[in-house]
C-alpha cells in the first residue's frame, strides 16, 4: 500500500504528468517532479503540485515509485542514461499508450533490483502542457494495468493504488498483447479515421455546412504529431491490420450501395445500431 510517506517521482510534467502531480498532491502525497522545462517546474511548484523538483535525474534517488510520463523514445532514453539513480526496489511505471514493445525494450535494459509495471491511463485532451492539467478527465476514463508474468503482486497493487487515488472510473488488467490489439482498434484506428476524414478534402469552405456529427468525428484530428507518430509505429502491425479490416468494411458497404442492395444496407445499419446501443447501456450503468 502507498502511504503518505511514500515518495513518488513523476518524470515529465506535461498534460498527463502534470495531472498526476495535481491529483496526487491534492491527496497529500509527497511528489518529486522532474522536467527539462524551467517554466513547467515553476508552474508545478507555484501550485504546490510538487514538493520538490528540477531538471536533475538524481532527484529520483529518494523515490519509492517513479512514474514516467514521457514520449516512448524519451522514456527508453532516460532509463538508459539515468537508471543508475533509481533507489533499490523502486517501482517504475509509465503512461505509454502501447505496451508490448515498450515493456520488452524497458525490461531488456532495466536493472534487476527495480521493477517495471506498465500502465495506461486512457485519458487525454487535444492540447498539451502542464497548464491544461485536469484531474476530472480521469473520473470518466479507464485505467489499464498491463502486467507480465514477471510482475509482483506488490507492484500491481501499487499502480492500482495510484489509479484509485486519481479516481479513475474503471481499473482493469490486461496482458500486453491483448492491450495493444484492443488499443489498435478503439483508440489508434479512431485517430487514423479522424485525421484521414479531415485530410481527404480541403474543407475550409465547409465550416458553415458541418453539423455535430462531422465535428464529433474530427475532434481528435487535432493531434500531437510527435507522440502519435511514435505510438503508431510501436503498434504498427496491429494498426495496419485494423486499417485493412476497416477498409474492407467500407468496401463492403460501398458495394451494397453501388448495386442498391437495400436489404444488405439495412442489415448493416441495424447491426451498427444494436452494437452501439450496448455502449449506451454501459454509459448509463457506469455513470
Which of the residues 222 through 281 are near a copy of itself (CB under 8 A)? 222-226, 228-229, 232-233, 236, 239-240, 242-251, 253-254, 257-258, 260, 262, 265-266, 268-273, 275-279
Kindly state whether residue 220 participates in binding a copy of itself, applying the rule CB under 8 A: yes
Kindly state whether residue 47 participates in binding a copy of itself, applying the rule CB under 8 A: no
Any bridge partners for residue 171, and if so which? 143
Kindly state whether residue 173 participates in binding a copy of itself, applying the rule CB under 8 A: no
Kindly state whether residue 287 participates in binding a copy of itself, applying the rule CB under 8 A: no
**Which residue, 108 or 204, has its beta carbon nearer to a copy of itself?**
204
Kindly state whether residue 214 participates in binding a copy of itself, applying the rule CB under 8 A: yes
> Interaction with a copy of itself in 12-31: which residues (CB under 8 A)?
none
Residue 210 CB, nearest distance to a copy of itself (Å)? 5
> Interaction with a copy of itself in 90-149: which residues (CB under 8 A)?
122-124, 140-142, 144
Query: Would you give the binding string for a copy of itself spanning residues 152-171, x where CB under 8 A is met?
Result: ------------------x-
Q: C-alpha distances in angstroms, 239 versus 181, 191, 230, 246, 247?
A: 8, 11, 13, 10, 12
Q: Which of 198, 238, 284, 287 binds a copy of itself (CB under 8 A)?
A: 198
Residue 14 CB, nearest distance to a copy of itself (Å)? 17
Amino acid at each position: 500500500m502507498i502511504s503518505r510517506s511514500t515518495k513518488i517521482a513523476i518524470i515529465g510534467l506535461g498534460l498527463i504528468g502534470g495531472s498526476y502531480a495535481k491529483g496526487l498532491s491534492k491527496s497529500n502525497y509527497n511528489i518529486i517532479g522532474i522536467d527539462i522545462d524551467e517554466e513547467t517546474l515553476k508552474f508545478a511548484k507555484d501550485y504546490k503540485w510538487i514538493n520538490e523538483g528540477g531538471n536533475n535525474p538524481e532527484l529520483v534517488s529518494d523515490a519509492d515509485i517513479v512514474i514516467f510520463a514521457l514520449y516512448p523514445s524519451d522514456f527508453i532514453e532516460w532509463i538508459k542514461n539515468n537508471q543508475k539513480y533509481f533507489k533499490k526496489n523502486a517501482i517504475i511505471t509509465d503512461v505509454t499508450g502501447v505496451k508490448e514493445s515498450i515493456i520488452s525494450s524497458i525490461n531488456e535494459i532495466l536493472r534487476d533490483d527495480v521493477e517495471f509495471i506498465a500502465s495506461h491511463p486512457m485519458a487525454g485532451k487535444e492540447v498539451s502542457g502542464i497548464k491544461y492539467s485536469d484531474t476530472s478527465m480521469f473520473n470518466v476514463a479507464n485505467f489499464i494495468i498491463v502486467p507480465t508474468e514477471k510482475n509482483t503482486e506488490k507492484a500491481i497493487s501499487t499502480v492500482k493504488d495510484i489509479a484509485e487515488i486519481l479516481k479513475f472510473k474503471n481499473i482493469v488488467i490486461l496482458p500486453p498483447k491483448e492491450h495493444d490489439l484492443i488499443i489498435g482498434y478503439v483508440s489508434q484506428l479512431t485517430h487514423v479515421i479522424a485525421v484521414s476524414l479531415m485530410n481527404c478534402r480541403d474543407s475550409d469552405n465547409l465550416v458553415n455546412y458541418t453539423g455535430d456529427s462531422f465535428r464529433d468525428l474530427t475532434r481528435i484530428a487535432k493531434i500531437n504529431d510527435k507522440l502519435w507518430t511514435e505510438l503508431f509505429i510501436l503498434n504498427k502491425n496491429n494498426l495496419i491490420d485494423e486499417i485493412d479490416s476497416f477498409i474492407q468494411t467500407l468496401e463492403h458497404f460501398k458495394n451494397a450501395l453501388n448495386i442498391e442492395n437495400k436489404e444488405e444496407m439495412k442489415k448493416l445499419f441495424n447491426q451498427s445500431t444494436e452494437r452501439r446501443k450496448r455502449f449506451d447501456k454501459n454509459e448509463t450503468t457506469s455513470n
